[in-house]
């Protein structure tokens, strides 16, 4: 496995409070991780820093073999690293428009755009709501549209912030079922979560944010049983 992203000395402060000071964070290409930690440990903040949505400082930052700065955040990384919020915000247009928005912004149009949107809608199982205003969707459907909207951009890294939070029953299971297909596409996926079913997905490695540091944990079921 080769490292896609390596950050050394990643630190974040809010005023006097040091939220974390991570020696080394390494994400391999085409790999899946869960990021666990107690409420307030800084999981969302870490993902948002990696996506350039929040400022973080570090000693060195390497992505795909290139040494980059974390701040100001490199423009080209916005295509490669995509963050999906646990309560995604969408335009009050249609599911199809929302999924196509990022591709249009990148210059795709015509048949290629229509085909990519169709495939993403099918992948998310949202054919029934293609022309529906996302405001009318259930929480699980919104999350699936948000995943499709991110996947269609074909990022190298997808950062999912509590993708199953506030979902239960079939809605939760449908979202969990989509995750392995993201991995098959060769994307590196990092999921901040407390969901044992996500943590237990085959091949998913565990990172735990504790006391401001990252602990690399064995995969579920391999060496220990701690959550």
Ligand X SMILES: Nc1ncnc2c1ncn2[C@@H]1O[C@H](COP(=O)(O)OP(=O)(O)OP(=O)(O)O)[C@@H](O)[C@H]1O
Contact footprint for ligand X (CB under 6 A) = 14, 19, 37, 39-45, 192
Q: Which is nearer to ligand X, 44 or 143 (CB)?
A: 44
Structure tokens at 27: 């994400």
Q: Which is nearer to ligand X, 37 or 52 (CB)?
A: 37
CB of 216 to ligand X, least distance (A): 17
CB of 165 to ligand X, least distance (A): 8
CB of 37 to ligand X, least distance (A): 5
* Angstrom distance (rounded) from CA 20 to CA 45: 10
CB of 44 to ligand X, least distance (A): 3
Q: Which is nearer to ligand X, 120 or 146 (CB)?
A: 146
Q: Which is nearer to ligand X, 154 or 210 (CB)?
A: 210
- Hey, how many other C-beta atoms are within 10 angstroms of the C-beta on 112? 10
Give Cα separations from 175 to 1, 29, 102, 165, 202 (angstroms).
27, 22, 21, 10, 16
The residue behind tokens 């199953």 is 164
Structure tokens at 57: 């400082």
* Angstrom distance (rounded) from CA 170 to CA 144: 12
* C-beta separation of 193 from 35 below 8 A: yes
């Amino acid at each position: 496995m080769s490292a896609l992203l390596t950050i050394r000395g990643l630190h974040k402060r809010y005023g006097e409070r040091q939220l974390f000071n991570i020696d080394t964070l390494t994400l391999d290409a085409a790999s899946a991780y869960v990021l666990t930690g107690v409420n307030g440990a800084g999981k969302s903040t870490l993902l948002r820093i990696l996506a350039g949505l929040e400022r973080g400082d570090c000693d060195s930052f390497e992505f795909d073999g290139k040494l980059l700065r974390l701040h100001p955040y490199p423009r080209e990384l916005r295509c490669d690293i995509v963050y999906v919020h646990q309560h995604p915000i969408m335009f009050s247009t249609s599911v199809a428009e929302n999924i196509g928005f990022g591709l249009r912004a990148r210059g795709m149009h015509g048949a290629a755009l229509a085909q990519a949107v169709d495939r993403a809608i099918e992948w998310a199982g949202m054919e029934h709501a293609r022309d529906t205003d996302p405001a009318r969707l259930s929480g699980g459907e919104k999350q699936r549209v948000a995943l499709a909207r991110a996947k269609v951009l074909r990022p190298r890294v997808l950062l999912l912030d509590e993708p199953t939070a506030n979902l239960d029953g079939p809605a939760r299971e449908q979202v969990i079922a989509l995750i392995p297909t993201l991995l098959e596409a060769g994307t590196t996926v990092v999921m901040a979560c407390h969901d044992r079913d996500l943590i237990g997905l085959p091949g998913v490695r565990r990172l735990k944010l504790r006391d401001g540091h990252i602990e690399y944990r064995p995969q579920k079921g391999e060496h220990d049983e701690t959550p």
